Structure formats: structure tokens, C-alpha cells
Chain A
């Protein structure tokens, strides 16, 4: 590029060519337009969800099991409880393993082997959820010979582990080394230090990771299709098919009945409220955590 032009620009500041100014304005306009185009579906989805959902949530929806086709009323109480049950199973399996793996990576994993685990966790994060469903099917359902809440829990646990592992590691690494050394200096064994000093200091961060993983799997449908399978009735046995909120929404949404469509919207609203409040709780906890540290 000609340097003389630049030099003269410093002295006279020539007017920017009209074409360039117009291009600048047009591109700014285009950027604003893209933002609008992205936000429109977001607001459309939320608005429509609230509009259709609010009218359909009632006491029966929250307390009753589904009625047979053709009968009005009924609800998704069993699916809400079923979802909570499956998520609890998933957390019981996924949280200890995920946190443990994160502790390993942060405290012992500064080597090749640790890198392999890190890479594996990232890879697992990208595996489509439906594929995880196949695996849970072949390691649990095929042995039990029938669909079960446990199979659904295993599928969701597999999906939770990578997120929990990586955030736990990151949070533990933020804990100052001096804190660990102070504990060693007092003669506290390494395992005690990790549990009562390092992990405790990082608690709010670790919980954030767990909640994010939880929010991510709470709305998952695909891995439950052929693991938890769904159920029209109450069930709290880990080895029986169990209803789940996302499954119920899916089945009702693709059904031809208006009454079921209505309930699908109500279910979707309940699901979104659960997930958004989990995410909001995380944001709140993180903010308080950083204030506490400061």
C-alpha cells in the first residue's frame, strides 16, 4: 500500500470516499439485522411457549397421570417425578465419577496420561446423545432384557461426566498452590488436603459445573427413547420402564390429539422453567462465589 497516501492523510485528512462510507453503514445495518433475525426466533419460542403453556398448566396436570386417548384431563405428574428419578440416578452415577476424574486431572494429571483423559472427555462431549442411548441400551437393557429407569440414568450419567470432569479440573486449578502447601506444612496428608482444603475452596465452581451438566441432560430426549422408554403409570423402580418429561412431550407433540398437544406445551413450559432456573441459580452462585473470593 502506498505510504505517501498514509502520510498525507495525517496532514489533510481527506474525506473518506462516499462509497466506503456507504459500505460501512450498510455493513453496520446488516449486522444489526442479523441480531434481530437471531433474537426473533428466541422471543417467538419463549412467547409462544408461555402463551400456550400457561393456559394448560393446572392442578390436574401437575398431580395426575395421563388419561387414555379421548378422555379430557389427566396430567404429567408421573413424568415429572420420573424425570427427577432418572436425573437422580444419573447424578448418583455421574457426579462422583466426574468430580473424581476432575480431581485426578488437577492433582495428578499433569502428564501424557492426563492429556489422554482430557482429550477423551472432550471427545465424549461431542458424541451425539442418540449414540449414547444405543450404548446404554446395549450395556443395560440387553442384559436386563427390558427397558428401565436405570438404563436412562446410565445414558444421562455418561453425558454428564465430561462436563463435570472438565469444570472440576478448571476450578481446582484456580485454587492457589500456596493453600495446598500450607496444609502439607501442617502435616495434613495429601488426600485430606485435597478433600477438605482444595475441593472445599473450589466448591461453588464445582457445583456450577454439576448444575450445568444437569441442565444440559435434563431436557435430553434422544438417549431416553430406548432406555427409560416411557410409562403411562407411576413407577419408582430402577429396573422398570419409567416416564420422563421430555419423552412425554415428544410423544404428545407428534400425536394427532389436540388435548395432548395442549399438555405437550404445558410440559415444555415446566421443563423450560426447571432448566432456566437451574442455569439462573448457577449464574447467581457464580457471582456470589467471585464476590466471596474478592
Chain B
């Protein structure tokens, strides 16, 4: 570099520093997020401590805040979404990589990824006017008749419910799970498939033994990434979950999630403690999604860059 003469040197230094500042801005943003969330949730920390996440009351008028119903709603709606989305996403990924004609592959994955381009608020709109009426008119009466004895499907079938939130979340996370599963399946070495087929396996046996087993860790990573997305998803859920801070066993009952209480109440928080309590929910949501995402990245990374054949052990 020193050969370039004085102008080059000065220019290089200035340029490098400018680029470095941009890089630091990325780091700084994360630090800022943590700092602001911790700082501004302080009053709530001091007032409630860890009991904040065990309390069931959410009463802004009397300044009593407990986040348990929101944590419960977030977990249940996300798990429900996973239960629906995981088999479907893996099925789609297996079909596109192992079964369908080559010509169909491109269009099929394009369509599934198109699902990811639809904004959350449009999902919500569709859910309010199409999904919810279908649920209350057909699905929920049917479920309560056949599976009512489990206690999960009882109560009036209003449609607006935990179930509706789970279903719309499932539709929203299918693209991410299935595209990562597809990626992971594609890096399974071809000879694994050939070996299984040479042993006389049928196509399904080849997929089960030769492909899916080798890709387990990566698929798991994709699922966890989908979970991370579901946990933080706000708008569509807010529009169909009913927004009532109650813990009910029935999936037909309305619920409330951490993200949707922020969406609904943040701009009209009545006092400092109310605002701090909401920000503490935001902080918790932030920490959980960070852990979940880091875990997922690690798992996908071990498969796509490690040696897939050793995952078989």
C-alpha cells in the first residue's frame, strides 16, 4: 500500500475508516437495542422482579402487571403452528427434491417462496375474512364433535381463537422451513441415495434411510428457525387471536401473545410502569428469539458445511 503515494494512502485510510464505521453501526445497532430495552424496562424489573413472568393479572388501571398469559399464548400458538407446518414443509421439500419431475422443481419452489413474500398484514386480512368464517362454520363444530372429549376443542366456535392464530402462523412459516429443508436435502451426497437403491430399497425407503436420516440436524435447524419466526410474528396473529389475556385449555378460546400485546397497547400505554412492563415483554421476546435463532443457525451450519455422512452415527 505504501507504494501508492500520499494521496492514495490518505484516501485509503479515510475510506477504510468510513467502511469500518458502517460495520460498527451494525454492531452498534444490536448494542443499542439491548441497551434501550434493558434501560427502559428497568422500572418494571424493580417493581415485579422475576414474578413478572409468573403473574396472571394484566391490569394497567391498578398498575398490576403479569406476563404469563402472553408467554403462554406465544408458546401455544407457535407450537400449534409447528405441529401443522413441520409435516407439510418436510413433505413439500421431499417432494421437490426427491420425487417430482425436474421441470416442476423451479416453479414449485418459486410458488412456495411466494408465500414468504406476502406481508403479515395481508395474511391477517385474509384470515379475518376467509379463514375465521371457515373455522367457525365448519372446522370448529366438526372438531368439537369428534375430538371434544380431549378438552382441547370445546367452547363456542367463534373462529377468532388460538387455533386460528396457529393455522395462520403455520402457513407463514412453511416457506422458511421447507426452503431450508430443501437446501439441506440437496447437500446429502448422491452416493447415499445410490447406495440405498442398490441395496434394493424402494424410493421411500431410500428417502427415509439415505436422505432424511442424514439430514436430521439440518431439518431440525430449519424447524427451529421457523419457530423463531413464529414467536416474533405480530400482525396476522393480533388480527385473529382475540387479544384476551387469559389462559384457557381449549384452542377455541381467545388468547394473547407477547408480540400482539405490544402491537395493541404500546402506543396507548398509560404510565411509566405500564410502558416499562411492555418493554420488558419486548426484551424477553428479543432474548428468546436470539437464542432460538443462534441455535438454528448452528444446526443448519453443521449440516451444510460439516460432513453430512457423519451425521448418520
Q: Which A residues form the contact surface with B (CB < 8 A)?
A: 1, 6, 9, 16, 20-21, 23-24, 27-28, 30-35, 37-39, 41-42, 44-45, 48-49, 52, 96-101, 103-105, 107-109, 114, 116-117, 120-135, 137-139, 147, 158, 161-162, 165, 187, 189-192, 194-195, 215, 218-222, 225-226, 229, 246, 249-250, 253-254, 261, 264-265, 268, 271-272, 275-276, 279
Whether a CB of chain A sits under 8 angstroms from the CB of B259 is yes
Q: A126-B290, A222-B259, A250-B235 are in contact. Are A101 and B22 (CB under 8 A)?
A: yes
Whether a CB of chain A sits under 8 angstroms from the CB of B189 is no
Contact code string B1-31 (vs A, CB < 8 Å = 1, else 0): 1001001110110111011111101110110
Chain B contacts with A in 102-116, Cβ cutoff 8 A: 108, 111-112, 114-115
Among the listed stretches B55-63, B92-100, B142-150, B303-311, which one makes contact with chain A, having 4 or more residues with CB under 8 Å of it?
A: B92-100
Complex contact B92–A24 (CB within 8 A): no
- Which has the most chain B C-beta neighbours within 10 Å: A6, A129, A276? A129
Complex contact A121–B126 (CB within 8 A): no
Q: Which residue of A lies closest to B174 (CB)?
A: A38
Whether a CB of chain A sits under 8 angstroms from the CB of B267 is yes
Chain B contacts with A in 239-291, Cβ cutoff 8 A: 239, 259, 262-263, 266-267, 278-279, 282, 285-286, 289-290
Cβ of A108: which chain B residues have Cβ within 8 Å of it?
A: 16, 19-20
Whether a CB of chain A sits under 8 angstroms from the CB of B130 is yes
**How many cross-chain pairs have Cβ atoms below 8 Å apart between A and B?**
261
- Report how far A68 CA is from B112 CA in the complex, Å: 39
Q: Which residue of B lies closest to A187 (CB)?
A: B4
Complex contact B200–A9 (CB within 8 A): yes
Query: A31-B91, A31-B94 are known contacts; what are 5 more A-B pairs with Cβ within 8 Å?
Result: A45-B126, A132-B33, A190-B12, A195-B15, A272-B122
Complex contact A100–B294 (CB within 8 A): no
Complex contact B117–A120 (CB within 8 A): no
Cβ of B136: which chain A residues have Cβ within 8 Å of it?
A: none
Nearest Cβ distance between residue A220 and chain B, in whole angstroms?
7
Q: A101-B23, A123-B294, A253-B239 are in contact. Are A34 and B87 (CB under 8 A)?
A: yes
Nearest Cβ distance between residue B95 and chain A, in whole angstroms?
4
Cβ of B294: which chain A residues have Cβ within 8 Å of it?
A: 123
Complex contact B200–A16 (CB within 8 A): yes
- Which has the most chain A C-beta neighbours within 10 Å: B22, B202, B203, B297? B22
Q: A123-B293, A158-B29 are in contact. Are A130 and B263 (CB under 8 A)?
A: yes
Complex contact B232–A117 (CB within 8 A): no
Complex contact B22–A100 (CB within 8 A): yes
Complex contact B12–A268 (CB within 8 A): no
- Report how far A225 CA is from B92 CA in the complex, Å: 35
Complex contact A35–B92 (CB within 8 A): yes
Cβ of A20: which chain B residues have Cβ within 8 Å of it?
A: 202, 205
Cβ of B30: which chain A residues have Cβ within 8 Å of it?
A: 120, 123-124
- Report how far A42 CA is from B294 CA in the complex, Å: 30
Which residue of B1, B16, B95, B118 is within 8 Å of A31 (Cβ)? B95
Cβ of B1: which chain A residues have Cβ within 8 Å of it?
A: 190
Q: Which B residues form the contact surface with A (CB < 8 A)?
A: 1, 4, 7-9, 11-12, 14-16, 18-23, 25-27, 29-30, 32-33, 36-37, 40, 87-92, 94-96, 99, 108, 111-112, 114-115, 117-126, 128-130, 171, 174, 178, 199-200, 202-205, 207, 228, 231-235, 239, 259, 262-263, 266-267, 278-279, 282, 285-286, 289-290, 292-294, 297
- Report how far A42 CA is from B111 CA in the complex, Å: 8
Complex contact B289–A126 (CB within 8 A): yes
Complex contact A275–B117 (CB within 8 A): yes
Which residue of A49, A100, A250 is within 8 Å of B19 (Cβ)? A100
Which residue of B124, B267, B279 is within 8 Å of A253 (Cβ)? B124
Nearest Cβ distance between residue B123 and chain A, in whole angstroms?
7
- Report how far A79 CA is from B203 CA in the complex, Å: 53
Which residue of A121, A130, A134, A138 is within 8 Å of B26 (Cβ)? A121
Cβ of A99: which chain B residues have Cβ within 8 Å of it?
A: 22
- Report how far A268 CA is from B127 CA in the complex, Å: 13
Complex contact B234–A135 (CB within 8 A): no
Complex contact B27–A44 (CB within 8 A): no
- Report how far A165 CA is from B285 CA in the complex, Å: 24
Which residue of B7, B12, B112, B232 is within 8 Å of A131 (Cβ)? B232
Q: Please list the 9 inter-chain residue pairs (A to B) with the smallest Cβ-Cβ separation, ordered nearest first.
A: A219-B119, A128-B232, A34-B91, A100-B22, A189-B8, A191-B15, A126-B293, A104-B19, A24-B202
- Report how far A121 CA is from B136 CA in the complex, Å: 42
Which residue of B16, B22, B87, B118 is within 8 Å of A272 (Cβ)? B118
Cβ of A98: which chain B residues have Cβ within 8 Å of it?
A: 22
